[in-house]
Amino acid sequence: MHVRLATSADAQAIALIYNQGIEDRVGTFETRLRTSADIESWFDERHPIVVVEEKQAIIAYASTSPYRYHRPWYEGIAEFSVYVRRDWRGKGAGRLALSHLMRESEQAGFWKLLSRIFVENMASRRLMRSLGFREVGTYEKHGQLDGVWHDVVIVEYLFAHNLT
């Protein structure tokens, strides 16, 4: 497996993987499938996105996005997500993507990464703990997916070097 920074040319492959996550209903409240154009809008030259390739096919990605728009005091915080193609889940691609995203985010000057994970998504929670993220709380009944309320765990990682 090989990791690299994503480009807008990767939008179609990223959309395919994200859409699998939407369809599987295990990692997002989103229900509308995404197009390549939707993904291209993520590339803002500030928030890193990485892809994992195997034999020149993208099998996973990890992305960052703004935490709160129009709040300059939060500009050093990025939200993140990690998605793995169905046939590559459980094989280390997500870990590889997130560990590289963490490096890229620190180099970009972020002091914190954060995300929300469905409480029942134990595979993601284990991955976060293994990379040093801490669970800082739970939002109860944070949203409904297909008419069912879901709680989410908030995870964060602080880049100590960027806090000085």
Q: Which of 86, 21, 85, 28 minimizes the C-alpha distance to 51?
A: 85
State mean pLDDT over 44-72.
94
- Residue extents of the structural domains in the chain: 2-163
Nearest to 89 by CA among 33, 32, 21: 21
Q: Does the global pTM surpass 0.95?
A: no
CB proximity list for 30: less than 8 A, separation 6 or greater: 22
160: pLDDT strictly greater than 90: no
pLDDT at 85: 95
Q: Among all chains, which residue has been given the structure tokens 């800082």?
A: 136
d(CA 164, CA 162): 6
Q: What is the pLDDT of residue 163?
A: 67
Of 76 and 164, more confident = 76
Distance CA 16, CA 69 (A): 26
Q: Which one-letter DSSP state was computed for residue 42?
A: T
Q: Say which amino acid occupies 78.
A: A
Measure the CA–CA gap between 130 and 128, rounded to whole angstroms: 5
Domain at 2-163: CATH code = 3.40.630.30
Helix (H) or strand (E) holding 24: helix 11-24
> Comparing C-alpha atoms, which of 156, 17, 164 is closest to residue 89?
17
The model's pLDDT over 119-154, given as tens digits with 9 standing for 90+, comes to 999 999 999 999 999 999 999 999 999 999 999 999
Write out the DSSP string of 43-69. --SSS-EEEEEETTEEEEEEEEEESST
Over 80: is that where the pLDDT of 11 sits?
yes
Residue 55: predicted pLDDT: 93
Residue 51 pLDDT greater than 80, yes or no: yes
For position 50, what pLDDT does the model report? Answer: 98
Average pLDDT for the chain: 94
Going by the DSSP 8-state scheme, the letter that residue 108 receives in this structure is T
